[in-house]
Amino acid sequence: MPKVVLKLIDDISTDTIYPGRFMATVLPEETPQFAFADNKEFNTKLKNNEIPKGSTIVAGNNFGCGSSREQAVSCLKGYDFIIIAKGFARIFLQNAINLGLRVIISPDIEADEGDEIELLREEVINKTKSKRFKIISLPKARQNIIDAGGLVPYTRKRLREIKNNLLKKAQVTED
């Protein structure tokens, strides 16, 4: 059962999640070291593997506002975090879906650090507080990307379809 390891307020910007001064680093295997770099205590725990993979971060509204930097998603994905927020900023949400970071929109979520969380399809259960909170489904426009496991495999699938269609057309012409 995932525990809440970090509780955040509204309007957490991508500068908080992944400070701009580390933007020259782009590779997903290198970005996790700078996750929440300006929160020294939390960042140190992350780097020392004191936080179990797959833990939960709970945030307020507009999580991930600001920059389009994908490092803000890949650094969290590196720890397999589940992000439960009252709401997400647009670009961050799309980047998260594109890279397969698990994001949950739950507008009324109440949870504190240390609380145990269970995720159902339509509800978040805070076991510690014995409370249930509704989940808002992710934008329907993104469902096929989620189903494909991210935007890279989805685009690859689309690319193959286009090339196959072209190939078929070419064969028809030859016949």
Partner 1 sequence: MGMTVVQKILARATNQKTVEVGDVLEPKVDVAMSHENAALVINQFLEIYKDTNLEPKVFNPENIVIIFDHRVPAESSKTATNQKRIREFVLKQGIKKFHDIRSDEGGICHQILPEFGYVRPGYVVVGTDSHTTTHGALGAFSFGIGATEMASVWVLGAVLNVEVPPTIKVIVNGKLSKYVLPKDIILYLIGKISAQGANYKVIEFHGDTIKNMSVSGRLTLCNMSVEAGATSGIVPSDEETIRYLREEAKVKERIDIMTPDLDAHYDSVIEIDASKISPQIACPHEVDNTRPVNEVEGTKIDQIVIGSCTNGRLGDIEVAAKILKGKKIAKGVRMLVFPASWRIYREALKKGYIETLVNSGAIIMNSGCGCCLGVHEGALGDGEVALSTTNRNFKGRMGNPNAGVYLCSPAVAAASAITGLITDPRKGGR
For partner 1, the closer of residues 3 and 7 by Cβ is 7
Q: How far is the CB of 43 from partner 1 (least distance, A)?
A: 12
**Exposed, middle or buried by CB within 10 Å (0-12, 13-18, 19+), for 3?**
middle
Which residues are at the interface with partner 1 (CB under 8 A)? 10-11, 13, 15-16, 19-21, 23-27, 38, 61-62, 65-70, 73, 87, 89-91, 94-95, 98-99, 139-142, 144-145, 150-152, 154-156, 158-160, 162-163
If the CB atoms of residues 83 and 145 are measured against partner 1, the closer one turns out to be 145
Closer residue to partner 1 (CB): 4 or 151: 151
Minimum distance, C-beta of residue 149 to partner 1, in the bound complex (Å): 13
The minimum distance between CB 6 and partner 1, in angstroms, equals 16
Residue whose CB is less far from partner 1, 1 or 141: 141
Residue 1 CB, nearest approach to partner 1 (Å):
31
